[in-house]
Structure 1
Amino acid sequence: MTSGQQRLVVVSNRLPAALKQENGEWTVKAGAGGLVTALAPVLKNRGGVWIGWSGSSDPTLDVDSLLSDFSSKAGYDLYTVPLTKEEVDGYYFGFSNEIIWPLFHDLQTRCRFHPKYWRMYLDVNFKFAEIVARRTTPDDYIWIQDYHLMHQAFFLKSMGVKRQIGFFLHIPFPPPDIFMKLPWRWKVIQALTEFDLVGFQTMQDRRNFLECLRRLMPEAKSEGRGPVITVKVGNREFRLGAFPISIDFNQFSEMAQREEVGQMSFRIKEALRHRKIILGVDRLDYTKGIPERIRSIQTLLRRYPDLKGRVNFVQIAVPSREEVDEYKELRTEIEQLVGRVNGEFSFPGWVPVHYHYKSFPHEELVAYYSAADIALVTPLRDGMNLVAKEYCAANASGDGVLVLSEFAGAAAQMQKYAYLVNPYDMEGIAKALHRAFHWDKEERSRHMTALRDQVRTNNIYWWVDSFLRAGIAKSLDDFPEVETLKFERG
């Protein structure tokens, strides 16, 4: 690496590549998900580094050589943090997903506060910090992603390793009455104050954090206004900011206008006999409100019988955490609800609910977005929800309607032109859908044009730029594409 060359180093639980075993052979597939989509273009050919776990706990597997090919194609370096099965169980499935995930999504009754999870979480965070220390230089900017790694700055400092380090939380941050239920609340807050910059999705999340901080550290003082403020705790100073994450608008918009995607979209409409399409797209998770949504469709058809045979609800549920019992139970509940609604309302030639439990190729998903008249995005709680933004970007006709949960982070940006609903209010959602069904084209078009403009302006590159400007007074352009960097690093 050239001396003084500042690199952007992303650290997340998972690398942007997933190891899969097919016919006894290990292969490397590009990872899915918003974070990979967001940051891969930012690191590509800019001397970037990504540090994370490979997804495998097999100690005999030579992960580094498997990833080297992917790394050279991706245009940035990948470094793995090896984890044992026991570590994955305690830190990832345990602390991250049985404590932090439900607690931060206001679903504390689902939490399992096992002390062994906390100990393993600290052990794994220390392991990550050791790799970060070894694979980075004092010139680099370290950008830690999400709730799995809240102790990175704390451990780097405890090792005496000086780095500029920012943290972004992709999920909501809860208010004090919920956060205070965490047995290790003080230590988690303390660890977050060790970062130079802590970023949240919304101003509400930032307010929640500040209230928790003041509750636990009454000496904390904040100064400034706007998206980024400064906080002082004793002789320590750090910054808090709200940076709503987004998508690559052009990627979705251009794909929706491709001929083959247009044909796919037309075939979807044909298959449903050009009825109005209400679309739900989610990872299968209890925070997404899928059962409540299906009950809302049931309420819609009961209350507004004029819509029978004129509308189809299509729910795409992307498989997730299939080995976890709670997720198996959720899948069963959804399938039973779909069966019940279809049993109640179907007649020859029309089945109201079409349920797909599978991952769709990107083009086909965009075709569904493009075909849908209404997107029903109703998580019970969500950090942001990129589906809402993807739908708007892919709505090339410009006359779709976004019905959005007021508890999605995206509502803060999109509330003026989306139809906001309470995801627990089945009758309210039914009424919103009925109204959206009868909206005139001009009204739909005006609202969707405004939503598309909003997503186009505040896109993924704007998100990265706003975080980097707050973190190190630099923007994406300060990490220019350099084809020779690969060779200089050797």
Structure 2
Amino acid sequence: MFTPISGLRIDPQQTNGDSGVPRLVVVSNRVAIPDPTGKGSAGGLAVALKEAFEAHRGLWFGWSGKVAAQPSTTPRIVDKGNVQYALMDLTPLDRQEYYNGFANRALWPIMHYRIGLSEFSRADYAGYLRVNRSFASALAGMIQPDDLIWVHDYHLIPLAAELRALGVTNRIGYFHHIPWPAPEVLGTLPGSQDLLRDITEYNLVGVQTDLDADNLRRGLVQEVGAIQRKGDLVELGEKQIRVKGFPIGIDVNSFQQAAKRSSTNRLVRQTVAGLGSRRLIIGIDRLDYSKGIPERMESFERFLIGNPDQRGQVTYLQVTPVSRSEVPEYATLSRVVNETLGRINGSLGEPGWVPIHYVNSTYPRPVLAGLNRLARVGLVTPMRDGMNLVAKEYVAAQDPEDPGMLVLSKFAGAAQQMTDALIVNPNDKIEVAEAIRDALYMGREERVARWERMMATITQCDIASWTASFLKDLSGGRSPGAGRILRPVQSAGQR
């Protein structure tokens, strides 16, 4: 097990061991330490990086999720196998300005095309830059010469700029898990030009779709004067950056096996018993306005009104864990969802039958796999989504002999790959209602054919191939001087 290196200078002759494989340094807003009991539900990023950490010795750095009045400026270290977890606490002000403020009240809505919900505050933006600077300062002393650094998501866009200012010349990649909007949308956010300049400090930027990549490249050209070169290469001054689509996948085999074994699970058995002869329609989403949950409920309402013979014959289960409850927009959304739920169930429900079952529980992956397998229709209708792995999990969970049908928003990145789903505009409630009807009435032969094609796609583009392709592109072609830590200079925030 390696040990962290203190200070900002390290011996440039130091290597990452005798294997010849560079160490992988992952940086994300939250760090997912493996649950020793095995009972926890691994998040999407933890599942994604499992393969990468099997091939590379690893360091995973980020926020611990804890808040302290006077947190340490050095990370707390936890060793697990060949991975070292480095955890930073935040102050209450950091959490409010960096996380609840700029990241989730300004950046998140803009990235999801919700300009009217974006609340910009200069204090929050300053807090966002401050936390990125403190993370970079704590991380720089731990970086070894041949490390590959992989930064994840919108919380940490300025991190490479801060690391470069501290003398880090390693190859640094960034993956943006949510949509990257058109330049005309991002440009409404104060400070967006600075964020675009920060992006150019990465060697490789990955996004979910080719459309996202085109949006980012156009933004760099239009807003900060970058030059578009051949293919995915963009230049700004002496800097070259590759911007490329890397559609993220899932661990298909693992989810498929969990679905097969789910019949013994207590909650799944209870669901089967409660359904009786009714067919199940399922939605699984975190509570977020980007997911379109009230609109989806109203689409299901339109389906029941237009198909009265289906009342009492179908049940819609919406599983929606609550998130970001401190952010005002999410409290408002929760109220809207509950009001919509109550109205529909009150007006269309019958003795012995409730149209929509809505639960805020967080279920482990095996339970979700089992519920997906039971469902004749998977409703994945976000208003805007980077990829949406729930769509892929729904397909992976199905019985090959009698699969259910996926209804998928055209504004989810997954729609670019899963063209055999029933693709809908989530803003058109009648269109979604008709897709629900078509999915329920679709014959077995067509369902099997569509499922087989979607299954082939998600199997070929699984999580292992996503990880391998990104790291292959990131590690290819080292720039002169890469792999050395130079003397510290002023931080990006001081320039």
User: Gapped runs of 5+ residues in structure 2?
Assistant: 3-13, 478-495
Q: Secondary structure at the match of 1:309?
A: coil
Give the aligned residue type for 2:49: L
| Partner amino acid, structure 2, of 1:409 | G
Check the 8 A contact 1:104/1:173 in 2, yes or no: yes
Which letter does structure 2 place at the counterpart of 1:3?
A: T
Higher deviation after alignment, 230-239 or 445-454 = 230-239
Q: Distance in 2 between matches of 1:11 and 1:289?
A: 30
Aligned residue type for 2:382:
P
1:165 aligns with 2:172: yes
The aligned counterpart of 1:336 is 339
Query: How many Å apart are 1:264 and its aligned residue?
Result: 5.4
Question: Which residue does 2:24 correspond to in 1?
Answer: 8
Amino acid paired to 1:175: A
**Higher relative contact order (CA closer than 8 Å, sequence separation 6+):** 2
Question: Residue 48 of structure 1 corresponds to which residue in structure 2?
Answer: 58
The aligned amino acid for 1:405 is: S
Residue 377 (structure 2) aligned to one of 367, 374, 384: 374
Residue 17 (structure 1) shift: 3.5
2:299 match: secondary structure: helix
For 1:413, which of 382, 400, 417 is the aligned residue?
A: 417
Query: What SS does structure 1 have at the residue aligned with 2:168?
Result: coil
Shift of 1:448: 1.0
CA RMSD of aligned residues (A): 2.4
**Compared CA separation, residues 64 and 316, structure 1 to 2 (3 A):** farther
1:77 aligns with 2:84: yes
Give the superposition deviation at 1:140: 0.2
Structure 2: distance between partners of 1:344 and 1:36 = 42
What residue is the counterpart of 2:115 in the other structure?
Answer: 108
Cα distance in structure 2, aligned partners of 1:359 and 1:321: 14
Paired residue type of 1:335: N
Cα distance in 2 for partners of 1:340, 1:399 equals 32
Task: Name the SS of the counterpart of 2:290 in structure 1.
Answer: coil
> Offset of 1:309 from its aligned partner?
1.3
Decide which of 22, 38, 46 is 2:48's aligned counterpart: 38
Measure the CA separation in 2 of the matches of 1:468 and 1:159: 24
Residues 1:383 and 2:399 aligned together: no
- Structure 1 equivalent of residue 103 of structure 2: 96
Q: Give 1:13 deviation, angstroms.
A: 0.7
One-letter amino acid of the counterpart of residue 93, structure 1:
N
| Residue in 2 that maps onto 1:443 | 446
Residues 15 and 144 of structure 2 are in contact (CA less than 8 Å); yes or no, is this contact kept in structure 1? no
Structure 1 residue matching 2:276: 3-state secondary structure: coil
Amino acid aligned to 2:370: A
**Greater Cα offset, 268-277 or 29-38:** 29-38
**Structure 2 counterpart SS, 1:321:** coil
Does structure 1 conserve the Cα–Cα contact (< 8 Å) formed by 2:77 and 2:87? Answer: no
Cα shift readout 1:240-271 (whole Å, capped 9, x = no counterpart):
11001111001101111116447754542331
Gaps of 5+ in 1: 20-26, 475-490
Q: How much does 1:470 deviate? A: 1.2
Q: Please give the alpha-carbon distance, in whole angstroms, between the structure 1 residues aligned to 2:403 and 2:108.
A: 35
1:169 Cα deviation (Å)?
0.3
The superposition leaves residues 55-87 of structure 1 with CA deviations (integer Å, 9 ceiling, x where unpaired) of 11125789999863xx32x64101122321101
Q: Which AA in structure 1 matches 2:445?
A: E
Provide the secondary structure at the position in 1 that maps to 2:253.
helix
On the 8 A contact 1:17/1:29 being kept in 2, the answer is no
Q: What is aligned with 1:148?
A: 155
Q: Deviations over 1:363-389 (max 9, x none)?
A: 211110010000000000001101001
Identity between Structure 1 and Structure 2 (%): 38
Distance 2:283 2:73 in 1: 36
2:349 equivalent to 1:346: yes
Equivalent position SS for 1:223: coil
Contact 1:370 1:395 in 2 (8 A): yes
1-structure distance, mates of 2:361, 2:118: 27
Q: Say if 1:368 and 1:64 are closer, same or farther in 2 by CA, change over 3 A.
A: farther
Query: How far apart are the structure 2 equivalents of 1:18 and 1:31?
Result: 10
Q: Residues of 2 paired with 1:131 and 1:273: CA distance?
A: 56
Determine if the alignment matches structure 1 residue 470 to structure 2 residue 482. Answer: no
Q: After superposition, where does 1:55-454 map in structure 2 within 5 Å?
A: 55-59=65-69, 68=78, 71-72=79-80, 75-224=82-231, 229-258=232-261, 260-261=263-264, 265-397=268-400, 398-415=402-419, 417-454=420-457
Aligned position for 1:486: none
Q: C-alpha displacement at 1:117, in angstroms?
A: 1.1
1:384–1:409 CA contact under 8 A, matched in 2 = yes
Aligned length: 459
TM-score with structure 1 setting the length: 0.89
Aligned counterparts of 1:65 and 1:134: Cα–Cα separation in 2 = 11
> Would you say the 8 A contact 2:321–2:360 is kept in 1?
yes
Partners of 1:206 and 1:259 in 2: CA distance? 38
1:331 positional shift: 1.5
SS at match of 1:241: strand
Alignment partner, residue 8 of structure 2: none
TM (norm. structure 2) is 0.88
Paired residue type of 1:7? R
> Is the Cα contact below 8 Å between 2:100 and 2:326 reproduced in 1?
no
Structure 2 match to 1:477: none
Maintained 8 Å contact 2:31/2:63:
yes
Which amino acid in 2 is paired with 1:117? D
Does structure 2 conserve the Cα–Cα contact (< 8 Å) formed by 1:16 and 1:31? no
Asked whether the 8 Å contact 1:199–1:240 carries over to 2, the reply is yes
Q: CA deviation at 1:196?
A: 0.3
